[in-house]
Structure 1
Amino acid sequence: MSELKQQTCEACNVNAPKVTDAELAELMAQIPDWSPVVRDGVMQLERQFKFKNFKLALAFTNQVAEIAEAEFHHPTLVTEWGKVTVVWWTHAINGLHKNDFIMAARTDALLSA
């Protein structure tokens, strides 16, 4: 299996499968800095990224926006002074799909780009 960040997202609809518990464990091992969280009954992936100032945080937010637009898969982005919180989940299925893990891995890759 290729690295998550090199995989492509697939189009999802309401019938797309959510990740299973076994898949969740396997995929989380590939993005260890992310946390699975449940909000309003919906499983999501969340990570906070720290920066030296607001300008760097905003630049990172814009980079995440670019990769989100490229895949037409959009996260929640909260930009603050020195911090960006990114939350991925698949709205169509109200939960986690493999696409979310791909996008989390691509988000991580922005830091090494």
Structure 2
Amino acid sequence: MTDLANETLDNSQSAASQLPTEQVSALLRELPGWVLKKVEDVERIEKAFHFDDFNAALAFTNKVAAIAEQANHHPALLTEWGKVTVGWWSHALGGLHRNDLIMAARTNELA
């Protein structure tokens, strides 16, 4: 997949800055299916994952929740019949951090 998934999250204070949109766009080229969105003036990345039924969608949701909890970095998750929409952004920054793209890459690996 991508080397992003193997990167270590940086939670240091010195790393607490939003990525410029140009950097986000460049990194998104490594993440098939992820799109940059703006929700209530906050940039985030989002992707919909499709499954055969609700149980498969729920199982995927739980896998994403497990990696999020382990990393202490949590997405927005919308679980529906046959579909899970995952959104990553850094709440404290009000935008995107490299950590969000790392978590998106890890999410892709789960699918």
TM-score (norm 1): 0.91
1:31–1:105 CA contact under 8 A, matched in 2: yes
Map of 1:25-44 to 2, 5 A cutoff?
Answer: 25-44=25-44
- In structure 2, relative to structure 1, the CA distance for the partners of 1:43 and 1:4 (3 Å cut) is same
Mapped partners of 1:10, 1:16: distance in 2: 9
**Alignment CA distance shift 1:12-1:83 (3 Å):** farther
Uncovered stretches (5+) of structure 1, i.e. residues with no partner: none
TM-score, structure 2 as length reference:
0.93
1:21 and 1:40 map into 2 onto residues whose CA distance is 16
Residue aligning to 1:62: 62
Deviates more, 1:37-46 or 1:16-25: 16-25
TM-align CA RMSD: 1.7
* C-alpha contact (below 8 Å) 1:9/1:102 kept by paired residues: yes
Shift of 1:25: 2.2
Secondary structure of 1:93's partner? coil
Give ranges in structure 2 of 5+ residues lacking alignment. Answer: none
- Render the CA deviation track for 1:56-94: whole Å, top value 9, x for unaligned: 000000000000011000000000000000000000100
Aligned residues, how many? 110
Distance 2:33 2:12 in 1: 25
Deviations for 1:3-54, whole angstroms, at most 9, x for unmatched residues? 00001111165x8111113311221111131000000000000000000000
- Give secondary structure in 2 for the equivalent of 1:65: helix
| Letter of the 2:54 counterpart | F
